[in-house]
A and B are shown apart, each in its own frame.
Chain A
Amino acid sequence: MFASRALKRAVAALVIGGTLAAGIGLSKEVQAQAAAAKLEQYFGIPSFRVGPFAAAGTGFFGGIIDYLTYINMTGGVNGVQLTWQECETEYIPARGIECYQRLLKRGNQQMHIFEPLSTPIAYGVLNRVDDDRVILTQYGYGRSDAADGRVFPWVFATLTSYWSGASAMINWIASREGGVANLKGKTITHLYLDNAYGREPLPVFRALAKQMGFTLQEVPVAVPGIEQTSQWLQIRQAKPDWVILWGFGAGMNSTAITSAARINFPRDRMLGIWWAASEEDMIPAGDAAKGFFGVANVPSGRQFRVVQEIEKTVYGANRGNLQDPKRIGTIYWNRGVTAAIFWVEAMRNAQARYGKGQVMNGDQLRWGFENINLTAVRAKELGIEGMLPNFRLSCEHHEGAGVIKVMQWDGTRWNTVTPDWVSSDRKMIRTMVEESAARYAAEQKITLRDCSKEK
């Protein structure tokens, strides 16, 4: 008996020892291999493919990888091949930071762009990117005031930020109501996940409510939000004209929609932020979701040329990353593709200035980002007309166009109902951004970056 116990213990020791040793050893070896490689631009991909948000993760990072593969299969960026390393974050900050550090270096290659698709993880690395000269792209999430490139030189919001999104949503609602004037006396409910993310747009909504004279009902939903009975009873009492759904995760979003059905609240009076407007958020709600409006920072669909080409080239060659090719053209996947498009676009800009066919470093890529100029012509070349708005970034302005499209769910797919992009109140938002950024800079004793010195 004792002997056997001792034996078991020995085995136990071996198991753990082995795991560790192998873990370290192998990683070294592979790094060595990678180091040997020539003319590769290396990207780190901190994905999450398990856990509550896995559906988002697999779609988004699948899209990124598919586009990178597509670029490689079509000759790379001026001959420079793209290579990447994936790392599972499970959407947990600690794991995210570990991934950031793990991906940061691979052999002699450096990670220059970090896109965790997670506000908590973005916060976890926010204070590191300056030293590591890594670009944190915050593709449609994170601190809205990071749009001020003088305070956050390494953080971008290439897509519309939450604040711009919020403002644009109100603008669209106003247009549905036949003009801002008609918002007076109306009630709009902000149904939000009760954490930093859900509270982010409150300053904007409150300001607009005062300015446009509508009543704002704030209804928080406790994390994880799979139970909203009392919230919807409150909404039923307030009889709002619109409910803005600021949720994350299919659990909360689909529950919100089914709960609306339970009190006969019309779904075509609901408008979901882009984290509450993916196919994965609608499907579980079934018919209840029919008519629901969703915000798109990148619309869904396969009609875009780049999507079709990826499908043809990458999936044709059976090198696609999605387990289920049916998800090609879905919101998260499309968003991932466009995220990668910006990476590559920044690379092209940088190469154009610092040397074609070269591997770019962090500073060069940042210059590339800050000189992104997405004109109609360029969009056509990239095959993303209607997929992304036209805009240009600069040293001061790290946020994209600050516009949205609105889609409606017909029970099986999203249909864009706004052919043109709905704009936000740029001036107001920019003022808020700069105020907030200034406060942050003061608190952190940051000296503002002088953009006039750079070009």
Chain B
Amino acid sequence: MNERKIGGVILSVQNISLAFGGVKALTDISFDVREHEVRAIIGPNGAGKSSMLNVINGVYRAQQGQITYRGQVRKDMDTHQAAEQGIARTFQNIALFKGMTVLDNVMTGRNLKMKSNFLMQALWWGPAQREEMEQRRKAEEIIDFLEIQRIRKTPVSRLPYGLQKRVELARALAAEPKVLLLDEPMAGMNVEEKQDMCRFILSVNEQFGTTIVLIEHDMGVVMDISDRVVVLDYGKKIGDGTPDEVRNNQEVIDAYLGIAH
């Protein structure tokens, strides 16, 4: 495997504030993500972690602040732009396409690479067919990589939780993202599943050099695999730095031990 080196800042959020009605989800959050690194966002429940990801790829629109992605400064992201610019993600509670097979789910990850129009597809026209097969090959690479060949043709709704999580990862990877947002990829998994998932995340990061931003509860995992960690609590940033720095940060300790604010 190629020796990965952390590059410059690829994504940074500045003074992001987000509120639903009166409820403040995020207040004045700023942090950056460097190319090729594994960046973790941690924090107690309701700290606003998922909201943060949703702001990054445009599912939510922040009221204040700005997002700089690959040098481009934006008031807020547009979901589709995000996808086109190479931001992919998985969801906290699995958001697979239940009615479709594993293969089709992964294939959807390739949709932005498909150029043929619906008429050509309807006629199964040469180019359209060749394109379909081309993308199918790419999809199969990912499937092999994540070791889910066996279940290729299975409808995802029939899969166990752990596998579904993996399929969702596959779908995200199929888009060949620059930045991969993982929302609690290991939630509700047993130890073996977690180990597999860690392995996959790391090798994605190493082999494809994909920048990874992940939310995780399991401190052990976070500290093991991430290069830098942001800590959120009640929608505010209370810590940012290497795992060790964060581990020794008093505020963080308080937050996790639940000292009253």
Chains A, B in direct contact (C-beta < 8 Å): no
**Residue positions of B touching A, CB distance < 8 A:** none
**Residue positions of A touching B, CB distance < 8 A:** none
